[in-house]
Amino acid sequence: MSEMKKIKNLKEFSTSADRFEGANLLCPGCAHSIIVREILNATNDPMILSASTGCLEVCTAVYPYTSWDASWIHIGFENSSTAIAGAEAMYKALKRKERLPKSCEGKSPKFVAFGGDGATFDIGFQWISGCFERGHDMMYVCLDNEVYANTGGQRSSATPIGASTTTSPAGRVSYGEKMNKKDIVQIMAAHGSPYVAQVAPNKWKDMVKKIQKGFATEGPVFINAMSACTTEWKFAPDDTIAVSDLAVDSLVFPLYEIENGTKLTITYRPKNKIPVRDYLGAQGRFKHLFKPEYEYLIDEWQKRVDDYWEYLQRREEAGV
């Protein structure tokens, strides 16, 4: 195991040489690339990466260009997890037979799969579940923007109640998406994964710490990264960090980690808890909730968030 990169502060972090290039075709202000940069810069070890079909994949590998300065593979929508699991199994086999190339000597490559929320919550779910059952030494990062943004904003099972999307539009008869979001972090923790965490790009220190912890952990690691989408959440491109701050401080996206499937730790407690109403008001996809007939949904949402926060705190106290 090679030594973990030391990142004490942002100045020190900024000396990293990026392995993700600009002039990819992600929207201006997209949080995906902020997350990818924070993950790739968290280590100096060689990286073997894969991506599911989705914004990140189509925008970083537009023929004839690639934006990745590391080994990167794309196969299909559902199998970024199994592609990287196969690479990891191959690495283990070659290591056992002492047939690794010279360039791998003294290094411990990191295997990371990226997927959007569509590829994680819906389409690729059974593949990820299989990888976690087999216990590959890999990290799966879900870039959770709560919608199929790449194909024009269809609802996914990560879309929260009340969000207007192209397949769950809000209008005279509907308030938008009617089903609640899957709790993917708890689902993956229930696989008995050694490390599962929820992160947000605006809390970079918390995020880098969790990523490094994930890299140091042997076994399948799941990271759910909140990724504010300027196009589908409908806010101005320069507000990405501000909206992410609102999401984290209103506890819609609480930052916590679960070790060995049970030990839950809350890693960030907002000093000033912001009402969910402020988070919803910052985004165009929830505009209709502020009509008098749908206001009750905001109160319901607030209650849901409060209950969940209460539940997380109780679990942290009990240590289970």
Q: Judged by CB under 8 A, does residue 258 bind another protein?
A: no
Q: Judged by CB under 8 A, does residue 65 bind another protein?
A: yes
- Structural contact between residues 298 and 292, judged by C-beta atoms closer than 8 angstroms: no
Q: Judged by CB under 8 A, does residue 33 bind another protein?
A: yes
Smallest separation, CB 141 to another protein (Å) = 16
Residues in Cβ contact with 113 at an 8 Å cutoff, skipping those fewer than 6 apart? 49, 50, 51, 52, 80, 81, 83, 84, 138, 139, 140, 141
Smallest separation, CB 212 to another protein (Å) = 14
Q: Judged by CB under 8 A, does residue 187 bind another protein?
A: no
Q: Judged by CB under 8 A, does residue 310 bind another protein?
A: no
Smallest separation, CB 54 to another protein (Å) = 16
- Structural contact between residues 114 and 190, judged by C-beta atoms closer than 8 angstroms: no
Using CB atoms within 10 A of its CB, is residue 44 exposed (0-12), middle (13-18) or buried (19+)? Answer: middle
Smallest separation, CB 201 to another protein (Å) = 8
Task: Choose between 52 and 60: whose C-beta lies nearer to another protein.
Answer: 60
Q: Determine the Cα–Cα distance for residues 16 and 236; give it in Å rounded to an integer.
A: 29
Report CA Rg, the chain: 19
Residue from the set 19, 136, 210, 285 that interacts with another protein by CB under 8 A: 19
Quick one: how far is CA 153 from the chain centroid? 18
- Structural contact between residues 242 and 214, judged by C-beta atoms closer than 8 angstroms: no
Contacting range for another protein; rule: CB under 8 A; set: 30-38, 137-145, 155-163, 278-286: 30-38
Residue from the set 58, 91, 100, 239 that interacts with another protein by CB under 8 A: 239
Give the largest CA-CA distance in the chain. 68
Q: Judged by CB under 8 A, does residue 315 bind another protein?
A: no
Binding residues with another protein: total (CB under 8 A): 56
Q: Judged by CB under 8 A, does residue 49 bind another protein?
A: no
What are the residues binding another protein (CB under 8 A)? Answer: 10-34, 37-38, 40-41, 43-46, 60-70, 107, 201-202, 204, 230, 236-242
